Amino acid sequence: MRTLFEPVSLGTLKLRNRLVMSPMTRSFCPTGVPTSDVENYYVRRASADVGLIITEGVWVDHPGASNDPAVPHFYGNAAELAWKKIATAIHAVGGAVIPQLWHVGCYFTPPINGDGPGSLRDDQLGPSGLAGGMGVFPRPMVRPATEREISEMIEAFVKGGEVAYRLGFDGVAIHAAHGYLIDQFFWYVTNLRTDRYGGDVASRTRFATEIIREIRRRTHPEFPIMLRWSLWKSQDYDARALNTVAEMEAFLDPLVAAGVDIFDCSQRRFWEPIFANSDLNLAGWTRKLTGKPTMTVGSVGLNLELFASMTGETCKPASLDRLEEMLARGDFDLVGVGRALLSDPAWVLKVRDNAIDAIVPFSRRSLQRLY
């Protein structure tokens, strides 16, 4: 595991190793403001040698951003003070931290009994008025967002970037994956617009590129900006938003030009290739096409992927040999670890010391504890 534990510098982001705590929603902030328990949750992992903490998704300051009031927001005096305290505490133990800005967009949550309109609110807007949810293919639900409303949503993300910079975070991450707002602009299924925010692959990145450029303008030329993206969607795990290398290149080029420094490439299983005749995964292809640093993620260190583990089975530690091989040959630069770090805050130390038998397995019960 030599390469995993090498220090790495990505622009101004200086990390003690390549292991990153991937963002994981836990809904443990009933008022939307992080508590001391949330601070302890992050600091415990940072003090156990996690190289970079990416916070759980945090709501930007827009009325339609949230579909869960217990997920923390990233605006308002109380929340800003709490997040500044968390960032300071992580820095005090030698860690680094960036927040992940989130807006669910036009996101349909089916009711438990399967009837009725679900939890979609009138102020949850997507590019073309199409909503999707877990297991629900996008369907017409509300009117399309106007250009004025799009500008307001862009401003909400930009304000989040400004807050991250002002509070002393080590960068900012933008959630543009899994069928949420920004990804709804990316995906041809949910973006049917005929104005400047719709059209071909490159044109559908305009919403994101305007966010990135303005965050860059209002912060600092070297303030790290990470973008999370995926091919799959929460409402369609088999979705392929981009089907060819040429399409992927056309998609990534405007994002690089806008100022993305690091790509967080979300896969359900990191070891799976995404194109025939190549064993590169999503992070590998993104790095190859852009030359930018990338992070891989997806069932790292566990023998079951997320949704299999949520059926009640306990995940056991899995070999990292393949991961180390891919990292060492330069497929990607960082490794995002999710559930393994949720269940065991000392996972990084135990992997480093080859104490695999001491790792706490992941189970659904892990989601009910703060650690």
Q: What is the pLDDT along the chain (371 residues), one digit of tens a residue?
A: 789 999 999 999 999 999 999 999 888 899 999 999 999 999 999 999 999 999 999 999 999 999 889 999 999 999 999 999 999 999 999 999 999 999 999 988 776 555 556 678 888 999 999 988 777 888 888 889 999 999 999 999 999 999 999 999 999 999 999 999 999 999 999 999 999 999 999 999 999 999 999 999 999 999 999 999 999 988 888 888 899 999 999 999 999 999 999 999 999 889 999 999 999 999 999 999 999 999 999 888 776 666 555 566 666 667 889 999 999 999 999 999 988 898 899 999 999 999 988 888 877 665 555 45
237 included as an active-site residue: no
In degrees and rounded to multiples of 5, residue 309 shows phi and psi of -70, -25
Cα–Cα–Cα angle for 93, 370, 17, rounded to 5 degrees: 35
Q: Which of 282, 154, 288 is nearest to 229 (CA)?
A: 282
pLDDT at residue number 366: 59
Burial label, 236 (beta-carbon count in 10 A; 0-12, 13-18, 19+): middle
Relative to beta strand 97-102, strand 19-21 is unpaired
β-pairing, 52-59 vs 19-21, is parallel
SS3 of residue 337 by DSSP: strand
Tokens 């369907």 sit on residue: 139
Phi/psi for 334 (5° steps) reads -130, 160
Q: What is the pLDDT of residue 290?
A: 98
Catalytic residue among 180, 188, 197, 237: 180
Cα 218 versus chain centre, distance: 22
- Distance of alpha carbon 147 from alpha carbon 121, whole angstroms: 19
Q: Do 132 and 179 contact (CB within 8 A), yes or no? A: yes
Cβ–Cβ under 8 Å, residues 10 and 293: yes
Cα Rg for the chain, rounded, in angstroms? 19
Give the span between the Cα atoms of 172 and 164, in whole angstroms: 6
Rounded CA-CA distance 49/5 in Å is 10
What is residue 309's predicted lDDT score, i.e. its pLDDT?
56
| Element holding 83 (H helix, E strand) | helix 77-92
Q: Which long-range contacts (CB under 8 A, 24 or more apart) does 301-310 make?
A: 301/337, 301/340, 301/347, 301/351, 301/359, 302/339, 302/340, 302/362, 305/268, 305/269, 306/268, 306/338, 306/339, 307/237, 307/268, 309/339, 309/362, 309/363, 309/364, 310/364
pLDDT for residue 134: 74
CA–CA dist 149, 157 (Å, integer): 13
Q: Which amino acid is at 163?
A: V
Give me the pLDDT at residue 295, please: 98
What pLDDT, on the 0 to 100 scale, is given for residue 307? 59
Q: Write out the E strands in 29-96.
A: 52-59
